[in-house]
Amino acid sequence: MNLMSLHCYKEAAVLSVKLKLQKDLNMEEMCVPLILQNKLPLAESFVTGHYHLEQQLVTLLDSWCHAYFSVDEISRRYPRLSLTKHCMSQIQPKLLAKHVFRLMVKFNIDQGLCPNARHKRRLDSLRFLMYKTFVEKGMTEEIWSDHVQ
């Protein structure tokens, strides 16, 4: 019997890592439920050491950093998963972008493969600069122009 069909994703991931079966399994089918259950470290260990899978995981997370991404669409694909509000709150672009950048460094992934996370980080930086300049009025015009460039 297949552990994934029984919705035992944690056990399936642990067993597949121990038996070195990662390449024989679908990364998305294994890792998406783990991520939705707030088990990203387990998804990371599932792909670690397999560059193609590492790349797939990072690009998957990057695709979730898109402005129009909806976690509800993903969770509908896995209706049998009981997802808490805490787990769902962890799937938001700002947190995902942090994970994408951390994993790009950890797995030595080219930044060009993660346009959404890069775009999100730039927008957040610009939003912060605008807040500092126009709300707090704590930034001179010279410092503003240096940062915006």
- CA 30, CA 37: separation in Å to the nearest integer? 12
pLDDT along the chain (149 residues), means of 10: 81 95 94 94 98 98 91 84 81 93 98 96 89 81 76
pLDDT at site 1 = 43
Q: Is 28 in contact with 56 (CB distance < 8 Å)?
A: yes
Tell me the per-residue pLDDT of 12-29, one tens digit each, with 9 for 90 and over.
999 999 999 999 999 999
Instruction: For tokens 């600069």, name the residue.
Output: 129
Percent of the chain predicted with pLDDT > 70? 99
For residue 114, give the 3-state DSSP assignment: coil
pLDDT for the residue numbered 79: 81
Amino acid 130: pLDDT: 85
Largest separation between any pair of C-alpha atoms in the chain: 66
Q: What is the pLDDT at residue 115?
A: 97
pLDDT at position 121: 93
Check residue 22 and give its pLDDT: 95
pLDDT at position 82 is: 77
